[in-house]
Copies of this chain bind each other. A is one copy, B any other.
Amino acid sequence: MGTPLSRDPIADARRNWEEHGWADVAASMAAITAIMRTQQILLARIELTLKPFGLTFARYELLALLSFARNGSLPMKKASTLLQVHPTSITNAVDRLQDAGLVRRSPHPTDGRTTLVELTAEGRTLAKRSTAALNTGVFSDPGFEPDDIDQLIRILRDFRRNAGDFLGS
């Protein structure tokens, strides 16, 4: 982006919190704000990598999910649940992927309420190629130390479980 700041803005915010009598929650505020900013940086990198494929991250996630499904197809609701986004976000993504010829809708064989989303041949190819691009362009050098990656995975798994994302021990 722009020129680097001379100081960490989140550390400054934490100082402000401490100086205003909120020292007890200052660290928590700093951690949460840092997660927000980190997500923003990572999303920008991912979107940049996916741009040549005409994909956004939202559409890529759906494509990747379908590529791992049994027949390359899933009910819309199932995709919404697994990707943990609002059903309307899936409708939106499927609309655009369908326009691009990467997926197609089909009725569920036994449940008239349900619509299946299915990868087309082009969709499967693009899923492979874009995943390869993300692996080499983003995931292979994420900017975290290996030990820190393990820490992150553990800390965020605990958080997500406590938040009710999934059951577990």
Q: How far is the CA of A41 from the CA of B36 in the complex (A)?
A: 11
Copy tally for this chain in the complex stands at 2
Contacts of A150 in B (CB 8 A): 27
CB within 8 A of A32: which of B2, B37, B138? B138
Counting CB contacts under 8 A, is A112 at the interface? no
Binds B, one of A94-102, A113-121, A151-159: A151-159
Q: How far is the CA of A142 from the CA of B35 in the complex (A)?
A: 12
Contacts of A5 in B (CB 8 A): 81-82, 165-167
Interface set of A (CB-CB < 8 Å, partner B): 1-2, 4-11, 13, 16, 22, 24-25, 27-32, 34-43, 46, 68, 81-84, 131, 134-135, 138-140, 142-146, 148-153, 155-168
